[in-house]
Amino acid sequence: MIHLDPSILAADFANLERDIRCVQEVGVEYIHVDVMDGQFVPNISIGLPVVKSLRKHITGVMDVHLMIEEPERFLEDFKEAGADILTVHLEATHHIHRTIQRIHDLGMKAGISINPGTPVSALEAIINDVDLVLIMSVNPGFGGQKFIPYSLEKLRQVKAMLNKARRDILIQVDGGATLDNVQTLIDAGANLIVAGSSVFEGEKTAANAKAFLELFKGCGA
Ligand SMILES: O=C(CO)[C@@H](O)[C@H](O)COP(=O)(O)O
Ligand SMILES: [Fe+2]
């Protein structure tokens, strides 16, 4: 089953409720929330009070992508803000295993993400402990960037690693996904597709989301 996970980073920040409702009305079940701290990535997005307010309008899964240094400092807060999935970057903490354990102890699904410059082999020791692997297909920090082609190879490697471990979990890809390249992402193993600028586009938003969902139906969704 393939899922669309629209990133609200590309939505209208003055109308987040409207934009979230718009994609949910056409059948979207996941909402991707990007949290940036200006340290781990060279940008600041939204923080806890906004995430907590969004929760009230998200009817499905609130998927929080933490692009912050030492995410272990804020796990309880994001639980309280209503995150269903909390994804942390391998590069952002000295204690990835403890951080994943704590996310689980708090009752959330735990995801691990790697930047474009981090090899998939770095995931080997943690792959059995996570519910989601996120392959960043752009350098994190900004929406609307171009897909990095080597990410396809990384998706294939993650898929092979998970097959070997007999694990069927979410393989998420984030950055530069479009209606034109999404089939190649699925073919490479991705089953949770983050898309920001190719979904949130003013009046075209509902039609864009629908087009992704239609395409996924042909993939056994
Ligand atoms: O985490 C990030 C960026 O750091 C993403 O979630 C982007 O928001 C995806 O945006 P598009 O590349 O789809 O426009
Ligand atoms: Fe993201």
Provide the residue ranges of all domains of the chain, joining segments of one domain with +.
Answer: 3-217
> pTM of whole model > 0.95?
yes
Using alpha carbons only, give the angle 202, 21, 77 rounded to the nearest 5 degrees: 110
- CA-proximal residue: ligand 1, atom 10 (nearest): 143
What DSSP element (H or E) covers 18? Answer: helix 16-25
Q: Which residue has the tokens 């979230």?
A: 20
**Quick one: pLDDT band at residue 220, thresholds 50, 70, 90?**
low
DSSP track, 92-112: G-S-HHHHHHHHHHTT-EEEE
Based on the residue annotation, tell me whether 12 is a catalytic residue of this protein. no
What pLDDT, on the 0 to 100 scale, is given for residue 218?
A: 82
Q: Is 43 in the pocket of ligand 1 (CB under 6 A)?
A: no
Q: Confirm or reject CATH 3.20.20.70 for domain 3-217, answering yes or no.
A: yes
Based on the residue annotation, tell me whether 174 is a catalytic residue of this protein. yes
The sign of the dihedral angle between the CA atoms of 17, 173, 104, 30 is positive
Give per-residue pLDDT as tens, 76-123: 999 999 999 999 999 999 999 999 999 999 999 999 999 999 999 999
Answer yes or no: is pLDDT of 221 > 70.
no
**Quick one: pLDDT band at residue 215, thresholds 50, 70, 90?**
very high
Question: E strands, 103-176, where?
Answer: 109-114, 132-136, 170-174
What whole-number distance in Å separates Cα of residue 197 and Cα of residue 28?
16
Give per-residue pLDDT as tens, 183-201: 999 999 999 999 999 999 9
The residue from 34, 37, 63, 131 that is catalytic is 34
Q: Which of 79, 86, 19, 8 is nearest to 45 (CA)?
A: 8
